[in-house]
Structure 1
Amino acid sequence: MEQHVLHTLEYDKVIAMLSDQASSTLGKERARALVPYTTLEEAQLAQQATAEAAAVLRLKGSVPLGGIRDIRPCLQRARLGGMLSPQELLDIASTIHAGRRLKSFLLDLAEAHELPLLAGWAAQIDGLRPLEEAIKQCIDEHGEVVDDASVELRRIRQEARSLEARIRERLEQMTRSASYQKMLMENIITIRQDRYVIPVKQEYRHVFGGIVHDQSASGATLFIEPEAVVGLNNTLRETRLKEEREVERILLRLGAGVAEAGASLQTNLEMLGELDFAFAKAQLGISLRATIPRLNDRGYLRFKKARHPLIPQAEVVPIDVELGKTYRAIVITGPNTGGKTVSIKTIGLLSLMAMAGLPIPAEEDSEAAVFSSVFADIGDEQSIEQSLSTFSSHMTNIIHILNAMDERSLVIFDELGAGTDPAEGAALAMAILDHVVERGARLLATTHYSELKAYAYNRPEVVNASVEFDVTTLKPTYRLLVGVPGRSNAFAIARRLGLSEEIIAAARRAISEEDNQVESMIASLERNARTAEQKRREAEALRAEAEELRRQLEEERNRFAEEKNRLLEKAEEEARIAVQLAKEEAERIIRELRELQAEGAAIKEHQLIAAKKRLDEAVLDLDEEKVKKQKPKAGGAGQPKAGDEVMVHSFGQRGTVLEQTGEQEYLVQIGIMKMKVKQDELSVLKQAKAEPAVRYPAVKARVGNVKLELDLRGCRVEEGLQEVDRYLDEVLLAGLHTVSIIHGHGTGALRKAVHDFLRSHRNVKSFRLGGQGEGGVGVTIVELQ
């Protein structure tokens, strides 16, 4: 992409705004180096990074980018074996910590949200915690090497502090001495050239001996190191030199660690720069209220409510434009200062921004094209040095564009053909436009030549456009009207300013009839365009209102569905509890009857009646409705007889008819219980195959011996299966229909073998694991046919 074009379309100003959004020097450099991509894959990848960064900012509001430093010079010096300063090492530790914090932030967020690019960059950041800790253990936050950096440094500094204390003690003795005080200018101890001295009056210099290190401006005061502390000061100086050498050794050791981690640190810097740059693009989009456009390589662009990013948002007028599908060229005509140049620069600049992976200030669902190159000839580019006229300068640039463009280029011409004879300029402009369109490039052009107003009507690939002008206020509205050519407003403006109608009429007569018809046609087109725009706005408002109503109805429907589900869940929970209670009550009744049977006592009639009543009370209303539906219709199954298998609806259990005890009453065996049941509570499931007299004693004989459960715990698989086979035979002979097999938990082998056996048994109707209160998975409930 030519730098001249980027400057002409003010792309460099957008890049300056982008650079200001970056948090680090690395991000700012990456932003300043950004140029538009010319392949769809590169542009889409850049836009994806921007979209992911924008998603992170929407979710979290901010990103931890603080603490990143430009440590590249430090790394270079460390690789060469140079010594790094404490502050440089602190910058390295700060950058390591910032990278690890940003990595953790993004990878945690990527677990719940799709961030393939950002997470991929973050994953490449090396934590380098040992190096950071080594630096922070040796250097404090003020950039000073601490005593604990090494054992030797601690010893040296302790020795130095001890020497300083001894020196101060001797000098303080002198300053406090009455005989010395009159010889001193002040009773203080100070330092000159890293040695402790006292201020002595000039005339008493010989009293103290030692070394004179400085004197006052007047010469009346000498800063003397007394002979009594010269030796101690010398020792202290040597200790300080040892300290400096030890500090240098520590810094060199840390620098060697930095050099060893140089490759990882370099990778960290590259990834941090990319991440900072991505979030700078997203922040720019937020500040411009911009969106991420779709991209294509077909030369098609559609900007909805596009705004120039450098014009204040309160002042800019959005434009709608589409290019590259129905038509490949837009020719904007009309008078100067109407906003034509701003329109084409907006389209060109937004195209460059989209190609660079930046969000564009336009509404959602906008689409941009990735061009192989963008060319622009805009403004007065007269070259004094080359002694070129305005026309010559423009024509030189246009010739360069015509030679360099291809079918994937975007070409922008401002005031094409200006600066020469109008007739020749208009003809030349039309020829240039024809050449660009024939080459297949996309074209935006402005002109004030009236001859070009009819140009687009004769070419299906070219469309006219104009910038709206408000005759009432005598100001342009800057709204782009595609499909309507610009017209001269000179007569309307003159009339508004007070020019007489007689002069205006004379001027109008001077214009050819054909020109007047064209102006009338354009005025009609403008009126139609305004009417269509008004209708479009009204339709848009109605559509928005309909969308709002639809949204409200959808919310109401969702609320209704949620309430319905909540009520159903509540009803199901209440029913489940009620059924559980009824089930527990039935189990208690059966348990009591078993206990009576185990005690050997005969179950009396009144006990059965009482148990039946309690079972009736445990049945839910809903179950009663179900029972009613299951009752036989009159005359459906006929009269039960002894030996018939029947369903006792009041208990929901199967049983066997033993005998008829009354006109509408039968004695029925249900498991171990015998009870009298009315005929309307019975329905015949299976009629007896043998005489009742033969079957009844057999059932009666087995009932008292067969239990309702079989305990297999402790049995091997083979033994257990034999017990199950024998038990089922006894159960069938006893006329029982529901029994329990206790196999326990264990390894599950016995349970699996029992289930496989039951699955193949011809008399087993169904089986299931026990529920709550039935033994759970340690028990299998079997229902027999």
Structure 2
Amino acid sequence: MEHVMRVLEYSKMKKQLLEHVSCSLGREKVETLIPSTDLEEIQKWQEETAEGVEVLRLKGHIPLGGIKDVKAEVKRAQIGGVLSATELVGISSTLYGGRQMKSFIEEVVEEEKTHIPLLSEYATQLESLRDLERSINQCIDDYGQVMDSASSELRTLRHQVRSFESNVRSKLESLTKSQSTQKMLSDSIITIRNDRYVIPVKQEYRGSFGGIVHDQSASGATLFIEPQAVVILNNQLREARVKEAQEIERILRMLSDRVAEDGEAILLNLTILAQFDFIFAKANHAKKLKASKPKLNRKGYTHLKDARHPLLDPASVVPISLQLGGDYRSLIITGPNTGGKTVTLKTVGLLTLMAQSGLQVPAEHDSELAVYTSIFADIGDEQSIEQSLSTFSSHMTNIVRILDQMNADSLVLIDELGAGTDPTEGAALAISILDTIYRRGACVMATTHYSELKGYAYNREGAINASVEFDVETLRPTYRLLIGVPGRSNAFAISRRLGLSEEIIEKAKEQIDLDSTQMETVIASLEESQKRVQKESDEATQLRKDSAKLHAELEEKLAELESEKEHILRLAEEKAEKAVKDATEEAEVIIAELRDLQKQGLAVKEHQIIEAKKHLDEAAPKLTSKQKRVKKLAQQANRKPIPGDEVKVLSFGQKGTVLADLGSDEYQVQMGIMKMKVDLKDILITEKAKPVETRPMATLRSTGTHVKPELDLRGERFDEAMHRVEKYIDDALLAGYHQVSIIHGKGTGALRKGVKQLVDKHPRVKTARDADSKDGGLGNTVIELK
């Protein structure tokens, strides 16, 4: 099987299939895909693909985003390993993707009333594991950082760390800003060495500060000293950080243990999600190739209608139609070189392998393919230089192997049977080989140049000739396959077209015996008959297409009439609704007056007023659910969505916000944490646009949204950057942050200077300092808020 898959370029077809997988789970399934010989298994695979194609037809897409192959992480957790925060986020994302897939399939079944039993069964086996997903999300943010809210102990420790950091920096800043000590420093900055805060001191003032020397400059002129005044504070900070790391480790271990507990369920989910990815990759592949589900049989019968080789350009490939295994099991194809004979063999072979792999095939509906236990192919010049085999020897070695291994349930494909040796002996061998294959009951397709084989099918039961058509006028092959007609020599016709004298051509004809001349005449007659029949068939096909087109136009017209009818009814009901509304308002006034009269002592009973109002309410026309949807869609039709619109994505049944217009009627929509590209027809506007911040923002944790602990200004213009800093400080104060970072980069220093000046004047900024070297140093300003 490996040899035939290589010869028929099965791996290239799988590369096409790989273009449609969504994650590594599906990729692994495609890479290990091989054809099956079990008819029941193949039929199940084909049903899966067909259900996937149906879902794509209805929905246009599937929600497989965010799914990762986390098998290794789960297995490591099961043996007691501690997963990193990033790995746990990957598991959470995969669990979310599984829930989305499960809901999606259930929604398709419920809303579309579609029968997809295999996909529904897979969806049923997916476990939601919401508790584990929620636990991870409550402890770790989207960036893979353990949040303060993960535990009260961590919140306390981080508060201590920030407090100790602030004390250390305050102490050191008092030294760097002191007039008496500035002359002793190489630069008035605070930096970090060995995870401890230090200041750069000139070599000659080494003894002025005491403390510990942690590093020196390359020249030795500067020493990085931890002054004695901050040694104790640095020790406290170091101890708090160690406790913080231990608490984070405890939280990660706790979550890893939870993953281990649900490990088997997660692994099962991964297996099912891999199957979903694989099925929808096959479905998308079928959609791209405009393929169809073939009928399958165990009778060795193949009937292809307008089949196309999947690796050839669909704009130029010429479809072929043929039958094999019914009235005849041997198909002998003759014709000129480069005429398409080899492509015909490869098309039949590759489509058979695709069908037995659960893939739909690029052919018309109702095409049928046999399921073979073995397929053999000798195609192309597989001459081996190392083995010193000639072309004939190489082909004959393959044929000997085929004859030894084939049986009645085999398909044999042989290109240029008997080529590479004396024509007379080669033709005799070819006939004998074809007879042997036929007697053993296998199906065979063979191409040849030998004229002796042109009459093979006329005196052999179960065999038929075919040829690839050649246009003598253009001197080019048409690549059309003619069944029942052997290929004929075009040498004389071609020579005449190229200008060879008639005298030479006539003398050449005299050298051919009478039988050969009669054979060429019969073949020419058959070709003409075949062309005439094909022309009539094409005309009938065109009539059928015209009829189908007319039927479709009538259906469309009927749909338009129904739509117009719906429109008229809606307008009438809206008009009636307005009339009743006006009458109701007037009646309300009357009822109010009646109540006033009642208060004045006149005999007006309360239940009469209530009854009258009830009758007025019931008089209002009630729109059907379909009419309500039409009304809402009509309101939306007045304009397209714009960024900021609150919309409903119909295929998901979820609400979201339009972020951007991508052009070509496609929009970027955010639903929860997901950002997706959505087609216009899948969007229903629910609320008008609200102001949308296009750059990444964060929000208040207390309100359920997220404010980042840092603001990145790199690449911003100065004025815009200063405006963003002011707004960010306000947001951070509302979020309850005590400390945030402003990332401005080093560059020319203009942004850094501007940020320093702004925060120094800000009434709610307590302190501002340069970040640690590991956190950006001079390119990052850390501010402490009041």
TM-score, reference length from structure 2: 0.70
Q: Which amino acid aligns with 1:324?
A: G
Does residue 447 of the first structure (1) align with residue 431 of the second (2)?
A: no
| Residue equivalent to 1:12 | 11
1:38 matches 2:34: no
Q: What is the letter of the counterpart of residue 103 of structure 2?
A: S
Q: Cα distance 1:297–1:197, how it changes in 2: closer, same or farther (>3 A)?
A: same
How many residues align? The count is 563
Task: Give the conservation status (yes or no) of the 8 Å contact 1:47–1:358.
Answer: yes
Shift of the 541–90 alpha-carbon distance from structure 1 to 2, 3 Å rule, reads same
TM-fit CA distance, 1:175: 0.7
Does residue 47 of structure 1 match 2:22? no
**C-alpha distance in structure 1 between counterparts of 2:169 and 2:387, whole Å:** 79
Moved more, 46-55 or 243-252: 243-252
* 1:429-472 Cα deviation digits (max 9, x unpaired): 11111111111111110011110000011112111001111111
1:80 maps to what in 2? Answer: 79
* Cross-structure match for 1:99: 98
**Do the aligned partners of residues 126 and 552 (structure 1) sit closer, same or farther apart at CA in structure 2, a change above 3 Å counting?**
closer
In structure 1, the partner of 2:300 is: 299
Distance 1:295 1:176 in 2: 86
Counterpart position of 2:324 = 323
2:14 maps to 1:28:
no
Letter of the 1:410 counterpart: L
Matches within 5 A, 1:610-649: none
Alignment of 1:158-173 (within 5 A): 158-173=159-174
Q: d(CA) in 2 for partners of 1:460 and 1:186?
A: 101
What is the alpha-carbon distance in structure 2 between the residues aligned to residue 76 and residue 457 of structure 1? 66
Unaligned runs of 5+ in 2: 566-786
**1:559-588 CA distance string (max 9 Å, x none):** 999999xxxxxxxxxxxxxxxxxxxxxxxx
Distance in 2 between the 1:229 and 1:548 partners? 87
For residues 549 and 86 of structure 2, the distance between their equivalents in structure 1, rounded to whole angstroms, comes to: 60
Alpha-carbon shift at residue 545 of structure 1 (Å): 3.5
Q: Which whole-Å CA distance do the structure 2 matches of 1:307 and 1:415 have between them?
A: 22
> Which letter does structure 2 place at the counterpart of 1:276?
D
Larger Rg: 1
Partner of 1:377: 378
How far apart in 2 are the matches of 1:557 and 1:500? 66
State the SS of the aligned residue for 2:19.
helix
Residues 110 and 539 (structure 1), Cα distance of their counterparts in 2 relative to 1, 3 Å cut: same
Is 1:143 the counterpart of 2:144 in the alignment?
yes
Q: Which amino acid aligns with 2:215?
A: D
User: Does residue 523 of the first structure (1) align with residue 489 of the second (2)?
Assistant: no
Q: Which structure 2 residues correspond to residues 8-407 of structure 1 after superposition, within 5 A?
A: 8-111=7-110, 112-407=113-408
Residue 118 of structure 1 aligns to a residue whose secondary structure is: helix
Q: For residues 663-688 of structure 1, what are the alpha-carbon distances to aligned partners after superposition, in whole Å with 9 as ceiling and x for unaligned?
A: xxxxxxxxxxxxxxxxxxxxxxxxxx
Q: Is the 8 A contact 1:185 1:200 kept in 2?
A: yes
- Residue of structure 2 equivalent to 1:613: none
Residue 351 of structure 1 aligns with an amino acid whose one-letter code is T
> Which residue number in structure 2 is paired with residue 659 of structure 1?
none
Change (3 A) 1:224 1:552: closer
| Whole-angstrom distance in 2 between the partners of 1:268 and 1:48 | 21
Contact 1:20 1:28 in 2 (8 A): no
Counterparts of 2:197 and 2:204, CA distance in 1: 21
Q: 2 CA distance for matches of 1:68 and 1:556?
A: 44
> 3-state DSSP class of the match of 2:118?
helix
Whole-angstrom CA distance in 1 between matches of 2:564 and 2:64: 46
- The alpha-carbon deviation at position 160 of structure 1 amounts to 1.2
Q: Secondary structure at the match of 1:398?
A: helix
User: Per the alignment, do residues 91 and 546 of structure 1 end up closer, same or farther by CA in structure 2, a change over 3 Å counting?
Assistant: closer
Amino acid at match of 1:20: E
Runs of at least 4 residues of structure 1 off by over 3 A? 543-564
Amino acid corresponding to residue 229 of structure 1 in structure 2: V
**Structure 1 position 215, deviation (Å):** 2.1
Q: 1:657 aligns to what?
A: none
* Segment of structure 1 superposing worse, 170-179 or 395-404: 395-404
- The whole-number CA distance in structure 2 between the counterparts of 1:552 and 1:387 is 65
What amino acid is the match of 2:445?
L
% identical aligned pairs: 58
Distance 2:391 2:374 in 1: 25
Equivalent residue of 1:231, what SS?
Answer: helix
CA distance in 2, matches of 1:550, 1:34: 42
Deviation digits for residues 586-634 of structure 1 (CA, Å, limit 9, x no counterpart): xxxxxxxxxxxxxxxxxxxxxxxxxxxxxxxxxxxxxxxxxxxxxxxxx
Q: 1:533 to 1:29 in 2, by over 3 A?
A: same
Task: Encode CA deviations 1:493-528: one digit per residue, 9 max, x unaligned.
Answer: 111111111111111111111111111111111111
1:712-727 superposed matches below 5 A: none
Counterpart-to-counterpart distance in 1, 2:562 and 2:275: 47
Change over 3 Å in CA distance of 1:131–1:537 after alignment to 2: same
Q: CA offset at residue 315 of structure 1?
A: 1.3
Letter in 2 for 1:40: L
Give the whole-Å Cα distance in 2 for the aligned partners of 1:171 and 1:232: 11
Q: How far, CA to CA, are the matches of 2:152 and 2:352 in structure 1?
A: 64
What amino acid is the match of 1:113? T
Go from structure 1 to structure 2 and tell me whether the alpha carbon gap of 1:146 and 1:550 turns closer, same or farther (over 3 Å shift): closer
Structure 2 equivalent of residue 411 of structure 1: 412
1:541 Cα deviation (Å)?
2.2
Counterpart of 2:306, as a letter, is K
Secondary structure of the structure 1 residue equivalent to 2:205: helix
Provide the rounded CA distance (Å) in 2 between the counterparts of 1:65 and 1:295.
Answer: 31
Compared CA separation, residues 349 and 458, structure 1 to 2 (3 A): same
TM-score, normalising length: structure 1: 0.70
Matches of 1:554 and 1:193, distance apart in 2? 79
**Deviation digits for residues 514-559 of structure 1, max 9, x if unmatched?**
1111111111111111111111111222333445556778899999
- The residue number in structure 2 matching 1:618 is none
How far did 1:125 drift?
A: 0.6
Distance 2:219 2:27 in 1: 55
Distance 2:173 2:301 in 1: 88
* Cα displacement (A) at 1:336: 1.6
Task: Please give the alpha-carbon distance, in whole angstroms, between the structure 1 residues aligned to 2:298 and 2:392.
Answer: 34
Once residues 122 and 34 of structure 2 are traced to their aligned partners in structure 1, the CA distance between those partners, rounded to angstroms, is 21
Aligned-residue CA RMSD (Å): 2.0
1:128-177 deviation digits (Å, cap 9, x = unpaired):
00001111111111111111212221221111111111101100110110
Unaligned runs of 5+ in 1: 565-785
Residue 230 of structure 2 aligns with an amino acid whose one-letter code is V
Distance (whole Å) between structure 1 residues aligned to residue 131 and residue 551 of structure 2: 59
Q: Residues 384-783 of structure 1 correspond to what in structure 2 (within 5 A)?
A: 384-547=385-548
AA matched with 1:77: R
1-structure distance, mates of 2:558, 2:235: 92
Give the Cα separation in 2 of the matches to 1:299 and 1:248: 63
Displacement of 1:219 after TM fit?
2.2
- One-letter code aligned to 2:222: T
Q: 1:81-131 CA distances to partner (integer Å, 9 max, x unpaired)?
A: 011011100000000000011001101212311010001011101100000
Paired residue type of 2:101: L
The CA distance in 2 between the partners of 1:353 and 1:340, in whole Å, is 20
